[in-house]
Amino acid sequence: MFASVGDRIVVHSQHVDDPVRDGEILEVHGADGAPPYLVRWTGDGHESLCFPGPDTTVEPSRP
């Protein structure tokens, strides 16, 4: 997985009724855009370090 600061990270639900979780990548801590990422989550504004799993996608920010 590759990401840059400003990209949107989306954690897709593994259950039918669970919401999708998304946020903005604030910092990239891995080499060459690799995880972990510091993310500000949409909704509550909470910031946390994210180690994305296979149910996660990154949407590049628009220039």
Q: Per residue in 9-32, pLDDT tens?
A: 999 977 778 888 999 999 999 999
Residue 39, beta-bridge partner list: 25, 48
In whole angstroms, give the CA distance from residue 48 to residue 40: 7
Q: Read off the pLDDT of each residue in 35-54 and give the average, rounded to a whole number.
A: 95
Query: Quick one: pLDDT band at residue 62, thresholds 50, 70, 90?
Result: confident
| Model confidence pTM above 0.75 | yes
Poorest-confidence range of 8-12, 18-22, 44-48, 57-61? 18-22
Count of residues making up the chain:
63
- pLDDT for 43 beyond 90: no
Q: What are phi and psi of 33, to 5 degrees?
A: 85, 10
